[in-house]
Homo-oligomer: A and B are copies of this chain.
Amino acid sequence: MWKNSSIYLIKLVEQFESLPGIGRKTAQKLAYHILQMPKEKIKVFTNSILDAHSKIHCCSVCCNFTDKEICGICLDKERDNSTICVVEDPKDVDAIERTHEFSGLYHVLHGVISPLNGIGPDEIKIAPLINRVKSEKIVEIIMATNPTVEGEATAMYISKLLKGLEIKVTRLAYGIPVGATLEYADEVTLSRALLGRSELF
């Protein structure tokens, strides 16, 4: 398409293509959509990007995204402030909130320890978590990092730091996803589900 296309169109397609999960075709579709949008809507769209980027930052307590000094979850007096659920990413807070099963507080690491990618413990928000645990009365820490190699290693690393602080450190259960069939479960998941079996009665 490029020989006779405007350089502005080419640049716009490239920008959309650089976003996660957007391929060349979708980027082109989005770029043409932008060109055909009314001017006011373009202003609203770009302002929503600039506003969100400039006003949203990390909560000074839990490091989740917020536009306040301290986020709504940390300020919520009805939540159980003796339990902290440690997650990799702000998206994970949303995922757990959607279950309506957890009423404690969160701590967002903003990444996982990944030596191959040059990310050590100091590159993610582990230190604020340890300070928080030492200064507040925490009873339980739930490690809810992803069940990947890096997620596991990060959970292990943090749990070792917390040893000797008389805090219960737990990990999300592994097992077969609800609604899935055993046939399609991978062997590691299935063996973890066997190991973690519980009594029915």
Contacts and interface: CB of A to CB of B under 8 A. Distances in A.
A60 to B, nearest CB: 15
Nearest to A72: B4
A173 interface: no
Nearest to A14: B48
A101 interface: no
A30 B37 contact: no
A21 B15 contact: no
A32 to B, nearest CB: 6
A91 B20 CA distance: 23
Nearest to A35: B56
Q: What is the total number of copies of this protein in its complex?
A: 2
Contacts of A53: 34-35, 37, 39, 42
B12 A48 contact: yes
Interface in A57-71: 65-68, 71
Contacts of A32: 65, 89-91
Q: What size tier do the contact residues of chain A reach?
A: 35 or more
A107 to B, nearest CB: 15
- Chain B CB within 10 Å, residue with most, of A4, A14, A45: A4
A55 to B, nearest CB: 5
A197 interface: no
A200 interface: no
A73 B14 CA distance: 22
Interface of A: 1, 3-9, 11-12, 14-15, 19-22, 26, 28-35, 37, 39, 42, 44-46, 48-53, 55-56, 65-68, 71-73, 76, 89-91, 94, 97-98
